């Protein structure tokens, strides 16, 4: 069951992702379908589905994962809560923020970045701007994260290798993406960030499109 609570720009972005499934390799699709089954199993077991997207610095890809999973869950009407974390704390990178804002997220609040090395950004995504996500760099031990019954999605190979154990995780998935930071010194860096965002959005749209509805799972 699909939802229309997203704002117009984000709904357009989601539909673009849904029309791009042919870009996903067969091997990658198999992995995404495995993740979908794990999400279903988690819901049947605990009546909740929590995803924690993990990369090294929680500054780019893990935020992209959390934000894309949030809007895809909203669009497909799925009871999934998404988080992000890193093995180190840095800050939500400015190029990642620019890419997010360009597709339709709205910045509704932030701490004064001149006074904080790790500002908090509040990004809305619904048409009425009442649904929002608080984004800031944090480690996997942050108090805002679930401590048990969650699926860890490792979106970079470094984090997957350097974080061999995640306490409380029911399962962990390696779903690595190329780090867009390699383009940071280029004039059109944000466009490369948007490409990575679109890739992550496309893959999570595919994954979530394979998940049964809450009503079906509770039968």
CA distances from 163 to 53, 141, 204 (A): 13, 12, 23
- Residue 118: is its pLDDT beyond 70? yes
* Dihedral sign from CA coordinates of 198, 130, 75, 85: positive
122 bridge partner residues: 109, 134
The H or E element containing residue 16 is: helix 8-18
Q: How far, in Å, CA of 49 to CA of 51, rounded? A: 7
pLDDT (average), residues 54-62 = 93
The H or E element containing residue 123 is: strand 121-124
Characterize 53-75 residue by residue with b for buried, 16 or more Cβ atoms within 10 angstroms of its Cβ, and e for exposed.
bbbbbbbbbbbbbbbbbbbbbbb
Contact 157, 174 (CB under 8 A): yes
CA 107 to chain centre: 17
Which residue ranges make up each domain of the chain? 8-217
pLDDT given for residue 165 in this prediction: 61
3-class DSSP state for residue 54? strand
- Residue 96: is its pLDDT beyond 60? yes
pLDDT given for residue 191 in this prediction: 97
pLDDT (tens digit, 9 = 90+) per residue, 181-195?
Answer: 999 999 999 999 999
- Residue 101: is its pLDDT beyond 90? yes
Contact 32, 21 (CB under 8 A): no
pLDDT (tens digit, 9 = 90+) per residue, 154-166?
Answer: 998 775 566 556 7
- Residue 3: is its pLDDT beyond 80? no
pLDDT given for residue 163 in this prediction: 57
Q: Is the pLDDT higher at 5 or at 204?
A: 204
Pick 8-217's CATH classification: 3.40.1370.10, 3.40.50.150, 3.40.50.2300, 3.40.50.720. Answer: 3.40.50.2300
pTM strictly above 0.85: yes
Query: Residue for token digits 């984090």?
Result: 159
pLDDT given for residue 47 in this prediction: 79
pLDDT given for residue 159 in this prediction: 56
CB atoms within 10 A of CB 104: 18
pLDDT given for residue 161 in this prediction: 63
């Amino acid at each position: 069951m699909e939802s229309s609570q997203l704002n117009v720009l984000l709904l357009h972005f989601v539909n673009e992702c849904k029309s791009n499934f042919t870009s996903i390799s067969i091997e990658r699709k198999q992995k995404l379908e495995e993740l979908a089954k794990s999400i279903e199993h988690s819901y049947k077991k605990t009546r909740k589905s929590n995803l924690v997207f993990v990369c090294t610095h929680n500054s780019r890809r893990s935020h992209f994962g959390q934000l894309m999973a949030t809007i895809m869950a909203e669009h497909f009407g799925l009871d999934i809560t998404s988080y992000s974390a890193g093995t180190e704390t840095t800050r939500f990178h400015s190029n990642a923020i620019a890419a997010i804002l360009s597709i339709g997220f709205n910045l509704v609040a932030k701490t004064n970045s001149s006074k904080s090395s790790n500002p908090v950004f509040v990004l809305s995504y619904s048409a009425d701007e009442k649904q929002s996500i608080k984004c800031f760099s944090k480690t996997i031990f942050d108090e805002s994260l679930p401590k048990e019954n969650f699926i860890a999605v490792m979106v970079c190979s470094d984090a997957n290798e350097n974080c061999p154990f995640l306490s409380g995780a029911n399962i962990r998935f390696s779903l690595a993406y190329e780090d867009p930071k390699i383009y940071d010194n280029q004039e059109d860096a944000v466009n490369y960030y948007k490409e990575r965002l679109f890739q992550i959005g496309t893959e999570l749209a595919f994954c979530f499109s394979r998940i049964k509805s809450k009503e079906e799972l509770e039968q």
